[in-house]
Amino acid sequence: MTTRIIPFLLIFLAVISVSVAKPDKEFVKIFDGETLDGWEVMPAKTSSAWTVKDEMIVGNGDKGRGYLVYQNKEIADLELKFLYRFPGKGNSGVSIRAIKDKTRRRSFQSYHVDIGHLGIGPQVLGAWDFHTPGRREHRCFRGERLVIDENDKPTLSKIKGAVTKDDINKNGWNEVHVLVKGNRFKFSINGKPSAEFTEHLPLEKRLQKGMIQFQLHDPGMIVHFKDIHLKVLQ
């Protein structure tokens, strides 16, 4: 009887050891729906612009322009999912791999997922925006795929089946899914690809890791965020 049990016990222990060693790559809810614990407002003087109501984050542009920043400020590769809504007009987004701008032309350098109210145009809603002083700030509008070569030369093409304005819920909730891995960046809105880029610049010219920043861009605007989930890949 004992000799039969031992092989099964060894297999069981091996399975446990593999599962313990396996890294956790699951999505984590990073907004608890009740507080802004784990988040920081930048600049601090605009803290009153960010509040929580009805299990959503509310950004009020009349109380200051700035960012709501996740506590882990050294993230490279990631998947990020969230819902957003504009009750009226507005311009917002999420900055990825954000760092302080040493050139002082901007407050931060980043690769920026651009969102805005329906009607603001494909250059904002659904675009990648390059906040990269000191290097070329390329165009990558909604529905476009951009490849940047080692000499910073861009090549644009169209994304088949990309999200259009007809897929956006006006004044309603829209889902964004961002995927960043190495030199490839893409995101979708409501399940359809929105914009993507790949860059082949030398490493020293790329943003390699940094902050996740939810943006409040303009006075007079309101933006809502909820159901924010993050998977850190590196």
Element (DSSP H or E) covering residue 15: helix 2-21
Contact call for residues 61 and 221 (beta carbons, < 8 A): yes
Tell which residue, 114, 106, 152, has the closest CA to residue 131: 106
What are the pLDDT digits (tens) for 43-100?
999 999 999 999 999 999 999 999 999 999 999 999 999 999 999 999 999 999 999 9
Instruction: Measure the CA–CA gap between 49 and 221, rounded to whole angstroms.
Output: 11
Q: Which residue has the tokens 């993507």?
A: 196
What are the pLDDT digits (tens) for 162-189?
999 999 999 999 999 999 999 999 999 9
State which fold the 24-232 domain adopts.
Jelly Rolls (2.60.120)
Query: 137-149 burial by CB neighbour count: b if 16+ within 10 A, else e?
Result: ebebbbbbbbebe
Q: Which residue has the tokens 């259009």?
A: 164
Model confidence, pTM: 0.87
